[in-house]
Copies of this chain bind each other. A is one copy, B any other.
Amino acid sequence: MEMEKRLEVISELAQKTESKIVLIVFDGLGDIPIAEFDGKTPLESAKKPNMTSLARSSSLGLMDPIAPGITPGSGPGHLGIFGYDPLKNEIGRGLIEGLGIGFEFTEEDVAARFNFATMDSSGAIIDRRAGRIESNEAALLCGAIQEKIKEIDGAKVFVRHVKEHRGVVVFRKKGIGGNLPDTDPQKTGIPQLEPIPLDEKSKPTAEITKKFIYQVNAILSGRNYANTLLLRGFSSNIELPSFERLYKLKPCAIATYPMYKGLAKLAGMRVVQGCNTLEEEAKALEENWENFDFFFVHIKKTDSAGEDGNWDAKKKVIEEGDRTIVSTALKKKPEVICITADHSTPCKLKSHSWHPVPVLIHSPASIPSDESNIDFSERQCARGTLGRFNALDLMPLLLSNAGKLAKFGA
């Protein structure tokens, strides 16, 4: 099916109503069973009374964030959930990282992530992360660079620290392109790579980048570690139609990590600031309840635990999410509660994976299973009444379940 046409149709059918939708995303929730943990996944094993009770009166299913077999990054994973085709709207890492720290992009911006790194006197990279220097030190270095580099070839330059050895640089100049390969060589013992432009528009950006690296190296030249930086994920700003325009929703985003706040902002969501814990997120949901009709609540640490291969920690995050956010959502009695993930992060693989994610949709029109002892889990969702669907179908399903989507045709 041609997705643009479908989105157009969805947008025409969407109508404003009083009903509310809560979309809870446990980042990297999906997992695979491990023999040493009783052959279960963290989700299967977690004590999650609210989700279990919901599951018995909800429709369950499996969702492919991008397509079967494709492992999503965090950006594409969320784009799909929000209804923007991730294969047609590629978000570079530079942009995502910048959104993550709340950088206010304009149309003229090209962003890239960088790592502080260490090179030897021959210019060969000997540590791609500069010993993972601490945030304080890296922030000072960023300040020093920004102080000395404000403009190159007519492009404004913004240098921002992100976390530990990581930062973002933004070049702002009308008409410059972001189609450049990484300068990070991905291994040590060789110099960083030249920024070769991949199209005409990116030629000036390549020049700016070369000069930027040269000047940075000069500024950091007295140091014997963290004396250069490696650039990755060049990207131009992308514009997405807002949730308000597409779906006639007034959306609110609740998240602890900057990147997810940034992704939500791309979709035109109002982002609640200042949440650092699940409890604070639950409180934000409660406090903002009256002012919005769509809530995106993001739970980060299931993914982090999966990446660490920490099955127990992942299970615990699920249990905490159930106790805080899911219970608050239930208490507010919205027409629709959806619990799902942006991708799987199986503990066994210690990385994102292609496995479809479990989905629970609770509404007055949901179709619960006719099997007994149903729970919210990867394997029970595989037999659910929603079947298996693509993430691009999620928003239409949520809108329909909330009575917000008119009939198509007569």
Using Cβ atoms and an 8 Å threshold, which residues of chain B touch A410?
A: 73-75, 91, 93, 96-97, 233
- Check B9 against A87 for contact (C-beta < 8 Å): yes
A69 on interface, CB distance cutoff 8 Å: yes
- Check B368 against A33 for contact (C-beta < 8 Å): yes
A47 on interface, CB distance cutoff 8 Å: no
A5 on interface, CB distance cutoff 8 Å: yes
In Å, the complex CA distance between A395 and B395 comes to: 28
Contact indicator per residue, chain A 376-387, by CB within 8 Å of chain B (1) or not (0): 011110111111
- Check B400 against A72 for contact (C-beta < 8 Å): no
In Å, the complex CA distance between A399 and B348 comes to: 18
- Check A396 against B68 for contact (C-beta < 8 Å): yes
In Å, the complex CA distance between A93 and B75 comes to: 41
State which residues 314-367 of A face B: CB under 8 Å: 346, 348-349, 351-356, 364-367
- Check B32 against A71 for contact (C-beta < 8 Å): no
A193 on interface, CB distance cutoff 8 Å: no
Using Cβ atoms and an 8 Å threshold, which residues of chain B touch A271?
A: none
- Would A348 and B368 be within 8 Å (CB), given that A62-B387, A69-B393 are in contact? no
Total copies of this chain within the assembly: 2
A153 on interface, CB distance cutoff 8 Å: no
Among candidates B1, B348, B356, residue contacting A67 with C-beta atoms closer than 8 Å: B1
Contact indicator per residue, chain A 216-246, by CB within 8 Å of chain B (1) or not (0): 0000000000000000010000000000000
- Check B355 against A407 for contact (C-beta < 8 Å): no
- Check A407 against B71 for contact (C-beta < 8 Å): yes
- Check B348 against A409 for contact (C-beta < 8 Å): no
Among candidates B346, B355, B366, residue contacting A32 with C-beta atoms closer than 8 Å: B366
In this complex, which of A377, A382, A395 has the most chain B Cβ atoms within 10 angstroms of its Cβ?
A382
Using Cβ atoms and an 8 Å threshold, which residues of chain B touch A76?
A: 408-409
- Would A9 and B70 be within 8 Å (CB), given that A87-B2, A378-B385 are in contact? yes
A148 on interface, CB distance cutoff 8 Å: no
- Check B390 against A388 for contact (C-beta < 8 Å): no
A13 on interface, CB distance cutoff 8 Å: yes
In this complex, which of A5, A233, A365, A408 has the most chain B Cβ atoms within 10 angstroms of its Cβ?
A408
Using Cβ atoms and an 8 Å threshold, which residues of chain B touch A387?
A: 62, 356, 382, 387-388
Question: What 4 A-B pairs have minimum CB-CB distances, sorted nearest first?
Answer: A69-B396, A387-B388, A73-B409, A68-B393
Would you mind naming 12 contact pairs between A and B with Cβ atoms under 8 Å apart?
A: A5-B87, A33-B367, A62-B385, A69-B405, A70-B396, A70-B408, A71-B405, A73-B410, A76-B408, A367-B379, A370-B377, A379-B385
